[in-house]
Structure 1
Amino acid sequence: MGRVRVVGVGMVPFVTPSKSGSYDAMAAAAVRKALTDAGLDLEQVQQAYAGFVYGDSTSGQRALYGVGMTGIPVVNVNNNCSTGSSALWLAAQAVGSGSVDCALAFGFEQMERGALAMKWSDRPSPFVDFMEVAQKRNGPSEAPFAAQLFGGAGAAYMEEHGTSPETFAMISVKARKHAGNNPYAVFRAPTTVEEVLASPRIFGPLTRLQCCPPTCGAAAAVIASEDFARRHGLKGDVAIAAQAMTTDQPDTFEDPKNLVGFSMAQRAADEVYEKAGVDPRDLRVVELHDCFTANELLSYEALRLTAPGTAEKFIRDGDNTYGGRVVTNPSGGLLSKGHPLGATGLAQCAELTWQLRGEAGARQVDDVRLALQHNIGLGGAAVVTLYQKVG
């Protein structure tokens, strides 16, 4: 994987559904930006992987045809909230294996207003077993299913470690503060712990301002081999040092935190650290999957950024932000930047590429040589990617 380069990235500003353009227009704009950033034409791309969750089956083709119809393979990818990173994983695999020299990964989502819901009532839901375990522990609820799962995991962590509600709220405050420097983010106005806690209760420790909003947007990345980048004079200084995708194992249903991907993420992160020979203490910047404040807190420990049971201290000591040990979600994360499902993983890739290039503006983290990306989808898949500045 060390020979795989991210040579171009692009995204459009994320927006709420009421302000969204059509998915194909957003995706085409993000792809054009990534190609321009790379200094390539679409004709030089040999394969494309299109990520989206809500859309008809060949929406990827519709979106890419707005940029050009070159006849290359276009693979449509759906892996719930890890869809964008799954498309990236496939593109990196294609390049890393030598099957192609240059591949495109792009993701987009044109979401509806309101919380995520299960779309199909006439067939088995992939979340049946998850909800059965969650409701056996927490009881039935009218709350959105994702909030029940993540809120239940947060409540279980609180019970075990005595974590205060204020600690969870501090994550939302930090997300808004970071997003204030990101022109691509939806929610850039600051908030306070008091405002977060006073917002309507959703489930467990979660209030409305601790839940990511439905968002529309698109992002893209051009992936190339080291040799291709060199031959074409491309920016080849951001390498994918290691990458792993994991799915559920039986332990998913044995612990509330595993219902929301803790064990999947931990196994993926451990695999990445081992492949790259990197200690998580070497990381200075991480984009992680903060769909709810509870999941950001859990992810600190899943990714081994802090020891088991110490996430509250990690937050209260300011070790998760500028001036601390590792800046988490400098983009504002899903909580404030927004979470258009198919685009999220590729927006994370764009942010970390800019960080490694030193192009993140007011969000720039000092001395970035390594950057970690964490993206999960319930049901389930976890993708962890380690980027490295080379040259």
Structure 2
Amino acid sequence: MIKSFSNMPKIRTFVIGCGMTKFEKPGRRENFDYPDMAKEAVTKALKDAKIDYKEVKQATVGFCYGESCSGQRALYQMGMTGIPIYNVNNNCSTGASALFLAKQLIETGNNDCVLALGFEKMERGSLGTKWNDRTVPLDKHFEQMVELEGFTSAPPASQLFGNAGEEHMKKYGSKPEHFAKIAYKNHKHSVNNPYSQFQDEYTLEQIQNSTQVHRVLTKLQCCPTSDGSACCIVANEDFVRKHKLESQAVEIVAMEMNTDFESSLNEKSSIKLVGYDITKAAAKKVFAQTNYKPQDVDVVELHDCFSANELITYEALGLCPEGKAHEMIDRGDNTYGGKYVINPSGGLISKGHPLGATGLAQCSELCWQLRGEADKRQVQNCKLALQHNLGLGGAVVISLYRLGFPEANKAKSKL
């Protein structure tokens, strides 16, 4: 008799190793091609997990700017073991999409250890299209943007998110200073992150007075393009116990991906156009699978490609009621000493944004936080972590993490 999948016990999935490069301005480090980035990140992750590459059964590799099968080229230098390697591309949510796929490969029951890698070798300046002889994947989003707000000479992505910020101000009463406060916080957090592209602290006035990019957004409220790589290794419980990794295993409690709904394009909203509805839906599914609610979260890494997106994402994730994000900011509930610590890494605004690596860098930061290994960035008594990685066009991945074996971690910390 064939067993129903719904009646099978859930396979727990754990992140057992993390590694990343420093994120850097494109071209700053000489001889730093994507295979070099990947090798550094993977080597660090394998060392962290205390395993050999030969124990990896499959791999998922995320990147947006590169030729087909770049994932194979990046990993072959670690060993040509014949394993399946999947190349993943989901715009800015590529890294978390690779992790989402890796988790599902564990949950099939056919793999006990899967590696998720992301990297990007980028060009300087704002993002643009590479293929001008075919349909642009964001054509519907741009058409809706033009219909709602027109089109300016500013980079298209900044227009989409700047318009969303403007809509929030008109609808709920937030002000330009609230968006600037987010950038101030993230730049301040990045001072303690050795992996961050920028480690400079700015005053609120410097952020507000930096070059205007689009509407509410100034230059210091926008993420830069970056070179870099990040890697996370996931495994099932048997693998964790076999290798005695309980003290560092971080459980992926729940993870969901959503792509655009009709409401994303048809409800005449700049906020919904940049992923509000899909973020809200994915977050609801994540918390519905658990005994947790958003208010139980201690630390968050979310997709602050622009300060406007961080603000509206507070509401979409359920960290505060709709229309109240600016009040949450004024209370200081998004940084150390407040209700949540959001983007302790510095976020995309300061850490940088190599598209394929970002989601895996977010996961790495949260794992280090939960393991108590975040050094000066450490969030005290951190027990539950939330991740949000968004790509327009569109896909969002929401993940919830906790220590898989907290007693083992506690025993280790006492040594």
Q: TM-score, normalised by structure 1?
A: 0.98
Q: Which amino acid aligns with 1:5?
A: F
The answer as to 2:124 corresponding to 1:110 is no
The answer as to 2:379 corresponding to 1:365 is yes
Structure 2: how far apart are the matches of 1:209 and 1:359? 28
Q: Residue 201 of structure 1: CA displacement? A: 1.1
Give unpaired runs (5+ residues) of structure 1: none
Cα contact 1:2–1:239 (8 A) shared by 2: no
Equivalent residue of 2:382, what SS? coil
The answer as to 2:349 corresponding to 1:335 is yes
Q: Residue 170 of structure 1: CA displacement? A: 0.6
Q: Residue 2 of structure 1: CA displacement? A: 6.4
Structure 1: how far apart are the matches of 2:403 and 2:233? 16
Structure 2: how far apart are the matches of 1:298 and 1:170? 14
- Greater shift in the superposed pair: 20-29 or 71-80: 20-29
What residue number does 2:389 align with?
A: 375
Equivalent residue of 1:19, what SS? coil
Give the counterpart of 1:76 among 84, 87, 92: 87
Q: Residue 118 of structure 1: CA displacement? A: 1.6
What residue number does 1:290 align with?
A: 304
- Greater shift in the superposed pair: 63-72 or 233-242: 233-242
C-alpha distance after superposition, 1:255-295 (max 9, x if no partner):
21111111111111100001112111000100000000000
What residue number does 1:239 align with?
A: 251
What residue number does 2:24 align with?
A: 15
Question: After TM superposition, where is structure 1 displaced by more than 2 Å over at least 4 residues in a row?
Answer: 234-237
Structure 2: how far apart are the matches of 1:18 and 1:121? 25
Cα contact 1:134–1:256 (8 A) shared by 2: yes
What residue number does 1:248 align with?
A: 260
Q: Which amino acid aligns with 2:134?
A: R
Structure 1: how far apart are the matches of 2:13 and 2:169? 41
Structure 2: how far apart are the matches of 1:204 and 1:11? 34
Structure 1: how far apart are the matches of 2:173 and 2:27? 40
Structure 1: how far apart are the matches of 2:11 and 2:196? 31
C-alpha distance after superposition, 1:355-374 (max 9, x if no partner):
11000001110111110000
Structure 2: how far apart are the matches of 1:208 and 1:2? 44
- Greater shift in the superposed pair: 115-124 or 38-47: 115-124
The answer as to 2:239 corresponding to 1:228 is yes
Q: Residue 344 of structure 1: CA displacement? A: 0.2
C-alpha distance after superposition, 1:145-168 (max 9, x if no partner):
111111111111111122111111
Matches within 5 A, 1:122-133: 122-133=133-144
Give unpaired runs (5+ residues) of structure 2: 1-9, 406-415
Structure 2: how far apart are the matches of 1:18 and 1:189? 20
RMSD: 1.0
C-alpha distance after superposition, 1:84-143 (max 9, x if no partner):
000000000111221200000000000100001122110010111101111111112111
Q: Which amino acid aligns with 1:73?
A: P
What residue number does 1:258 align with?
A: 272
Q: Residue 237 of structure 1: CA displacement? A: 3.2
What residue number does 1:311 align with?
A: 325
Cα contact 1:280–1:304 (8 A) shared by 2: yes
Task: Name the larger-Rg structure.
Answer: 2
Structure 2: how far apart are the matches of 1:284 and 1:125? 39
C-alpha distance after superposition, 1:41-62 (max 9, x if no partner):
0100000000000000111111
What residue number does 2:169 align with?
A: 158
Cα contact 1:282–1:370 (8 A) shared by 2: yes
